[in-house]
Chain A
């Protein structure tokens, strides 16, 4: 069965800290995505990657960066965490092409104090 695993379900960090969110998929998918989910706004794309070491900005990349050194792993980095980055973060993966649905992890609830 398809599996996307996010390393933490809940995370609490302090303002200014560098935060790493990890995501691993076991489906050999080329595409991987990071979203944040906020009430009333749905899911918004932060960054995506269509191959190892390749990355593209999504709709809200400010304050974030990503790393994809291996095909199965996609990391989201908050360079200097701020309170407005408190959110639910969701990782997804898919095969190439728009007709391939994305498979999501269960999310990381991140709180920045």
Chain B
């Protein structure tokens, strides 16, 4: 049973607008969360992360929000650019688990001109 769920397989957004990607998790032991971005024919690359002691982390155009009570996190991309078109994976980890990650199924983002 998947412990990390991304319920939207795809998202289409206009260039310049905000992209919001959602992720839910079921295991309350998770205390570190990451977002990865994947282009076709390439491996995933790390984008941004957040610890469970925070509720927000920002890095340039990318912001991740964490709502622990709802077991929900989201990634906001503002403004969206054509180069942001990719698959985005949400991942979760437990401290002292050798950095093992549980991944969601991914969300395909398409940014249109």
Is B32's CB under 8 angstroms from A99's CB?
Answer: yes
Whole-angstrom distance from the CB of B15 to the nearest CB of chain A?
27
Most buried by A among B2, B98, B105, B106: B98
Return the CB mask of B11-27 against A: 1 if under 8 Å, else 0.
00000000000000000
Interface residues on B, range: 20 to 34
Taking the complex as formed, is A68 at the interface, i.e. its CB lies under 8 A from any CB of chain B? no
Is B44's CB under 8 angstroms from A97's CB?
Answer: no
Whole-angstrom distance from the CB of A76 to the nearest CB of chain B?
15
When distances are taken between beta carbons in the complex, the residues of chain B under 8 Å from A99 are 32, 49, 51
When distances are taken between beta carbons in the complex, the residues of chain B under 8 Å from A104 are 36, 43-45
Binds A, one of B60-68, B71-79, B88-96: B88-96
Taking the complex as formed, is A12 at the interface, i.e. its CB lies under 8 A from any CB of chain B? no
Is A31's CB under 8 angstroms from B105's CB?
Answer: no
Is A98's CB under 8 angstroms from B106's CB?
Answer: no
Most buried by A among B51, B93, B96, B101: B101
Whole-angstrom distance from the CB of A7 to the nearest CB of chain B?
14
Pairs A–B under 8 Å by Cβ, sample size 18 = A42-B4, A42-B89, A42-B105, A43-B101, A43-B103, A45-B100, A45-B102, A58-B100, A96-B98, A97-B99, A99-B32, A99-B49, A101-B49, A102-B101, A104-B45, A105-B43, A106-B42, A107-B42
A contacts, CB < 8 Å to B: 4, 9, 31, 33, 35, 40-45, 48, 50, 56, 58, 90, 92, 94, 96-107
